[in-house]
Chains A and B, each alone.
Chain A
Amino acid sequence: MRWKFEGACPLVGFRRGLALMYFFWFSALMALSAGQEVKVSVCATTGMVADLARGVGGDAVAVHALMGPGVDPHLYKATASDLVRLQRADLILYNGLHLEGRMQETFERLSRSGRRVRAVTDGLNRARLIRTGTEGLHDPHVWFDVRLWADCVDGVARELMALRPASEGQFQARAALLRDRWIDLDRWARGRVAAVPESRRILVTSHDAFGYFGRAYGFQVVALQGISTVTEAGLADMTQLTDFIRTRGVPAVFIESSVSPAGLERIRKDAGVKLGGELFSDALGTPGEKHGDFDLGTYEGMIRRNVDRIVEGLK
Chain B
Amino acid sequence: MTLVPEFQYQRVFIEPWTTELGSHGLMALVTFLVGATCGLIGNFLILRRMALMGDAISHSVLPGIATAFLLTGSRGIGAMALGAVGAAFTTHLLIEIISRHSRIKPDAAIGIAFSTLFAAGVVLIAVFADRVDLDQDCVLNGELPMIPLEPSVRIGGLVLGPPPLVRLGCLWVGTVFLLLAFYKELLLSSFDPGLAACLGIPVGRVHHGLMLWLAMAVVASFEAVGAILVIALLILPGATASLLTEKMVPRLVWSLVHAALSAIAGMHLSVALDCSPAGASVVAGAGWFACAWVFSPVGGLIPAWWRRRRASSGGGGTVTGGD
Contacts and interface: CB of A to CB of B under 8 A. Distances in A.
A110 B132 contact: no
B-side interface size class:
20 to 34
A163 interface: no
Contact of A230 (B20, B137, B149): B137
Interface stretch (A131-139, A141-149, A273-281): A131-139
A292 to B, nearest CB: 25
Contacts of A230: 135-137
Nearest to B151: A113
B135 A86 contact: no
B271 A80 contact: yes
Interface in A215-261: 226-228, 230-231
Nearest to A85: B23
Among B18, B19, B138, B149, residue most surrounded by chain A Cβ atoms (within 10 Å): B149
A80 B149 CA distance: 11
Contacts of A83: 23-24, 27, 145-146, 148-149
Given A80-B274, A83-B23, A110-B151, A102 B143 contact: yes
Interface string B125-143: 0100011110111100101
B150 interface: yes
A20 B130 contact: no
Interface residues of A, number: 34
Interface stretch (A71-79, A151-159, A305-313): A71-79
Interface in B93-151: 126, 130-133, 135-138, 141, 143, 145-146, 148-151
Contacts of B54: none
B298 interface: no
Interface string A80-110: 1111101100000000001001110010011
B133 A228 contact: yes
Contacts of B126: 231
Given A20-B18, A103-B146, A133 B132 contact: yes
Contacts of A81: 271, 274
Contacts of A228: 131, 133
B136 to A, nearest CB: 8
B267 to A, nearest CB: 8
Nearest to B14: A24
Nearest to B267: A80
A87 B135 contact: no
Nearest to B131: A133
A132 B130 CA distance: 11
A188 interface: no
Contact of A24 (B18, B27, B136, B138): B18
Contacts of A135: 132
Given A24-B18, A28-B19, A77-B143, A227 B131 contact: yes
B131 A226 contact: yes
Interface of B: 17-24, 27, 126, 130-133, 135-138, 141, 143, 145-146, 148-151, 270-271, 274-277
Interface of A: 20-21, 24-25, 28, 75, 77-84, 86-87, 98, 101-103, 106, 109-110, 112-113, 132-133, 135, 137, 226-228, 230-231
26 contacts: A24-B19, A25-B22, A77-B276, A79-B276, A79-B277, A80-B270, A80-B274, A80-B277, A81-B274, A83-B24, A86-B149, A87-B22, A98-B133, A102-B133, A102-B138, A103-B146, A106-B143, A106-B146, A110-B151, A133-B131, A137-B131, A137-B133, A226-B130, A226-B131, A228-B131, A231-B135
Given A83-B27, A87-B22, A135-B132, 11 more contacts: A25-B18, A77-B143, A78-B146, A79-B270, A79-B276, A80-B24, A81-B274, A98-B133, A103-B146, A113-B151, A137-B131
